Chain A
């Protein structure tokens, strides 16, 4: 048996047992998911092994911390592209997603290191930035889709508000609010439920690595609060930025369909 913080290759292979269970279930129930399960497991394995290899280079004691910051910049770029791929039908999403993830990175790392919650080291910069940006990505996609969906579905209402002399800010406010709520609620709910049903990743990792549960809980709580703040920041940047782009300077909703 390996130590809790190092399962070894044997442990990794053993963990595939449950993937075999999933494959058998998919095959018996005729779900047709066997190929995608195998592909996702293989892809995750390759991606994470490559990441682990790159991290060992960056986290070497003699490596400059500049490499870690470069890693964070790359993370922002990849996150922006991922959001664009998931919400490609939303106009101008790439620059907004880049601004949102960069803002999240700057604000969250600024708070983390400004208040000395964690020390500024390569081993803290990359995982913390990854956690903040990664968690914000899903919410950014939801926010972008909901803003466009709300303003498109409620176009008549929005135009009725504009026709009453309301500015684009006033006319879009109820729909923007609804989109932002939809994007933020899952994170709020998961923050509420934490500890009751599931033990989150960082805490589980620390406990498995032998850290005392109280210390692990403190780290996890700090991370959850920071993630909540990051999600709220990224959702606000994308939702407000996108709403602005969907209106002209003279408060007209951009034309999406021909009017008769």
Chain B
């Protein structure tokens, strides 16, 4: 099965076409979502807890599949792609740093079984951790360091897209800003970033005034532009 081409800037990175998702009990988690995510740069999914934004993110790397509708990756239905290869192209960093038992090296070996210490030191440098961390166990790391190690692990699959699922919500403000700077550096390097958050200050730090880069998720659907603008204005710390 041929995989979609990586670089056609005019094709959206992801498109959600009439996507609905129901829990096994029948409860609607997402309802008829139509939205697209541009290639390159940062797109932020923002909304209150439980609104369905994490689910929307998980649809992108097929940790969830829609009950109805389609998710397209660079114009191709994700349902038709090899899920394992697709997940290596679309990496994910979770809300809580999720390191496996063992050392940082052991963790990196899960992502790249044939990787050498040189490869791993290089990827740790990208997340601003020095090579000595390779021998540190998960328990020895601070939450911020652990999240960086998780990002390094995700980068080892050489993803074109990185999904960040409230990846800084467990961090203190300094560590949070450090991860944001790191993420923006990765975007400079050509990565497409989808960032889920409910922190509007963080939205501003990530995308500035590019309001078209925000998808507001409310009650299981992506809000229309006027509703999204009202939501953002109501919660803007400068206007509240």
A residues adjacent to B (C-beta < 8 A): 156-157, 159-167, 174, 250-252, 255, 258-260
Contacts and interface: CB of A to CB of B under 8 A. Distances in A.
Given A259-B54, A260-B54, A156 B85 contact: no
Interface string B73-103: 0000000000111011001101010101100
A258 B27 contact: yes
B62 A252 contact: yes
Contact of B55 (A161, A250, A252, A260): A260
B218 interface: no
A160 B87 contact: no
A250 B58 contact: no
Contact of A160 (B53, B62, B98, B101): B98
A195 B134 CA distance: 48
Given A167-B84, A258-B29, A156 B23 contact: no
Given A156-B96, A166-B110, A259 B83 contact: no
A251 B29 CA distance: 21
A252 B49 CA distance: 23
A250 B62 contact: yes
Interface of B: 23-24, 27, 29, 49-55, 58, 61-65, 83-85, 87-88, 91-92, 94, 96, 98, 100-101, 110-111, 150, 153-154, 157
Q: SS class of chain A's interface: helix, strand, loop or mixed?
A: loop
A163 B85 contact: no
A207 B84 CA distance: 60
Contacts of A160: 92, 94, 98, 100, 150
16 contacts: A156-B98, A157-B98, A159-B94, A159-B98, A160-B100, A160-B150, A163-B87, A163-B154, A164-B87, A164-B88, A167-B84, A250-B62, A250-B83, A251-B83, A251-B84, A259-B54
A159 B101 CA distance: 15
A160 B61 CA distance: 11
B159 to A, nearest CB: 10
- For the complex of A and B, the 6 pairs showing the least CB-CB separation, nearest first, are A165-B88, A163-B92, A160-B98, A250-B83, A165-B87, A165-B84
Contacts of B50: 260
A160 to B, nearest CB: 4
A164 B157 contact: yes
B94 A156 contact: yes
B158 to A, nearest CB: 11
